[in-house]
Structure 1
Amino acid sequence: MGLLALLRKLKSAPDRELRILLLGLDNAGKTTLLKKLASEDVSSITPTQGFNIKSVNTSGFKLNVWDIGGQRKIRPYWKNYFDRTDVLLYVIDSSDRKRFEETGLELSELLEEEKLAGVPVMIYANKQDLFDAAPASEIAECLELTNIRDRTWHIQGCSAMTGEGIEDGVKWAMKQVSGKKK
């Protein structure tokens, strides 16, 4: 049994590294999502003043996740992190309808960036555990996501606090890049 456990451990060692860019407006839940993905405590989160980097092993991949702050004054610096991005994770606060237009504009600008051309986009409709959260389908319609034609994209309802939906989004993202990275 010891040898079998060792072989399983070796087999589960990540054989591919991916650079994941985690963006969205301030207070969307990016850092909470990243901490939940890394199986860390999410009971005390502070706004990101700059960036966080975490490496997470999942599904045979080592995910190097760059969580960049979403405050208005930080957003112009997002472009400094675009190089070699394999997947863009974009987080939206589903309960903050007042900011849907703003987050839609930011996402549109990201999709026009040359360095992100063709990069798959996983959009997390976060905070689905709140009673006033818009469903992912409503957000997709509001942001006119069906007009995205130059890359694969997916919107996934989730709750960064409970973890619900996060793994489904990661699985989708890994499927998009599994044939591209060796």
Structure 2
Amino acid sequence: MMGATISYPPVSDDRRAAVRRKLAAFGRLCEVGIGRRHGVAAALASDGRAVAATDVIERETPPGVAFVRDDIVAAADRAAAGRTAPRDDPGEPGAPGDHYRVDCVYALNAPPELHRPLLRVADAVDAACCFTTLGGDPPAVDATPLALSGGDTLYVARDPDGVLVG
């Protein structure tokens, strides 16, 4: 007797293209937990956006995407430890890190345990915050779901300038 085999369909280019089109409204972005799939970050960078990426382990990123090894949970703790800084004051204590000083902090396939830290960091730098989940996972923070062409859902947890939802 064999156990159940679970296979997950690959993420389609159409789904990620819809995410990229939505994020293209921002000039400076940071993808949290970039992993090995960096198509959205690469496309945004090739479209002339300033893109930074983070992950807990060292990753190679495509040309035009700056990489910083960082943990979003630790960054949220850094932000909470002191007075948070606005985007134009990089020297303030409590800032989560210069790589997060962007217009939008986003994550793709973010597990629920990263939703709150992601939002705390975005809040600390006054950035928009959005993410996709692992599929069946609901957002762990209050977020507006945006159904995108191709079938992906982008959850908008913070949109101070009304760029994503407005």
Same fold flag (TM > 0.5): no
**TM-score w.r.t. structure 1 length?**
0.40
**TM-score w.r.t. structure 2 length?**
0.43
Q: Which of the two has higher C-alpha Rg?
A: 1
| Larger RCO (CA under 8 A, 6+ residues apart) | 1
Greater fraction helix: 1
